[in-house]
């Protein structure tokens, strides 16, 4: 075999090897990529399903504390109770929880975030009535106008809530509810709203009047097609809708201190026997020794 023939054979072998690599890249590569993409999509779907199944989060609090008299609690134990709840209004984690996306590792500051009635996370739960006796700490017009981030006396009752987690790092595809807001601040009018994510639309034009520093009783009554509110026994406003008694129910306040004297949520849920049973929940916790 001549040297020229030998070099030609080596040239053909190199070309054939290049052709084989190109074929593998064009046909096998995309198949592997699609397989990896499908696996990733499947993993993301599993993560999304896991997240949607665990919307509400309860911190690891010793629930035995909630069965003890306030006079038996230490200062540290009282702080543990105050951390889980609205500002100045601790709530029992056996009935109230915040969403996992609202979780924070800060243990020295009570964050402002909505607390959801755990019973309302059951699709068979129907909200009927909420009664709250409360008072806002006094606030002047100057405080509310000049420092609204600290002095905005308001209380939000959200109902017919719908929340679905998205993939990690993505905006939740659904975060909406109806809201009744009772506010003493001139910057945030009281009334019924529809909220979607961070946007809200006022639904009524009723006038609501309260006084900071005084005790008021707020009653929200909800049926499938109507929600109406009374303040201190007087009917104030209403809205109409569909399936209003279904979905998540939550409470929220702002940084301005609020004292909740009493709280009761009434509704019903469907039992395994197909019959509806009454639900009455408070979950309001006292940490004061003189109560």
Which CATH number does the domain housing residue 204 bear? 2.60.120.200
Provide the 10 A C-beta neighbour count for residue 21: 10
Q: Same structural domain for residues 10 and 153?
A: no
The residue written with tokens 């699609």 in the block is 34
Ranges of residues in the chain with a pLDDT under 50 are: 7-8, 20-33, 35-53, 290-291
What is the extent of the structural domain holding 226? Answer: 55-281
Provide the 10 A C-beta neighbour count for residue 220: 21
Cβ–Cβ < 8 Å for 163, 173:
no
| Confidence at residue 15, expressed as pLDDT on a 0 to 100 scale | 54
Domains in the chain, number: 2
Q: Same structural domain for residues 240 and 162?
A: yes
β-bridge mates for residue 31, sequence order = none
Residue 291 falls inside a structural domain: no
| Confidence at residue 2, expressed as pLDDT on a 0 to 100 scale | 55
Provide the 10 A C-beta neighbour count for residue 207: 10
Q: Same structural domain for residues 266 and 133?
A: yes
Which among 19, 35, 53 is the end of a domain? 53
Residue 232 falls inside a structural domain: yes
Residue 46 falls inside a structural domain: yes
Which among 15, 36, 53 is the end of a domain? 53
| Confidence at residue 25, expressed as pLDDT on a 0 to 100 scale | 46
| Confidence at residue 43, expressed as pLDDT on a 0 to 100 scale | 43
| Confidence at residue 100, expressed as pLDDT on a 0 to 100 scale | 85
Q: Same structural domain for residues 32 and 156?
A: no
Q: Same structural domain for residues 2 and 89?
A: no
| Confidence at residue 39, expressed as pLDDT on a 0 to 100 scale | 47
| Confidence at residue 144, expressed as pLDDT on a 0 to 100 scale | 97
Residue 287 falls inside a structural domain: no
Exposure string of 136-175, with b = 16+ CB inside 10 Å and e = fewer, is beebeeebbeeebeebbbbbbbbbbbebebeeeeeebeeb
Per-residue model confidence as pLDDT tens digits over 149-161: 999 999 999 999 9
DSSP strand pairing (174-183 vs 191-196) = antiparallel
The pTM of the full predicted model, rounded to 2 decimals, is 0.79
| Confidence at residue 12, expressed as pLDDT on a 0 to 100 scale | 53
């Amino acid at each position: 075999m001549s040297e020229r023939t030998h070099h030609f054979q080596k040239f053909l072998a190199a070309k054939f090897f290049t052709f084989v690599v190109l074929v593998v890249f064009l046909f096998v590569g995309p198949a592997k990529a699609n397989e990896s993409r499908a696996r990733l999509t499947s993993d993301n779907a599993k993560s999304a399903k896991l997240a949607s199944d665990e919307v509400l989060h309860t911190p690891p609090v010793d629930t035995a504390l909630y069965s003890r008299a306030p006079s038996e609690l230490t200062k540290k134990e009282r702080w543990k109770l105050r951390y889980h709840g609205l500002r100045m209004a601790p709530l029992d984690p056996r009935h109230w929880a915040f969403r996992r996306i609202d979780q924070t590792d800060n243990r020295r500051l009570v964050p402002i975030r909505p607390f959801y009635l755990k019973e309302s996370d059951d699709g068979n739960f129907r909200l009927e009535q909420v009664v709250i006796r409360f008072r806002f700490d006094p606030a002047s017009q100057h405080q509310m106008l000049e420092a609204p981030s600290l002095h905005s006396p308001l209380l939000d009752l959200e109902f017919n809530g719908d929340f679905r987690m998205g993939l990690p790092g993505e905006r939740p595809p659904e975060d909406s509810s109806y809201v009744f807001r009772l506010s003493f601040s001139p910057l945030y009018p009281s009334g019924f709203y529809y909220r979607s994510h961070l946007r809200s639309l006022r639904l009524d034009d009723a006038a609501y009047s309260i006084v900071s520093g005084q005790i008021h009783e707020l009653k929200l009554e909800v049926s499938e097609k109507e929600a109406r509110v009374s303040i201190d026994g007087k009917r104030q406003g209403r809205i109409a809708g569909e399936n209003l008694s279904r979905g998540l129910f939550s409470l929220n306040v702002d940084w301005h201190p609020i004292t909740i004297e009493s709280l009761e949520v009434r509704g019903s849920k469907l039992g395994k026997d197909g019959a509806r049973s009454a639900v009455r929940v408070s979950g309001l916790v006292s940490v004061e020794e003189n109560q």
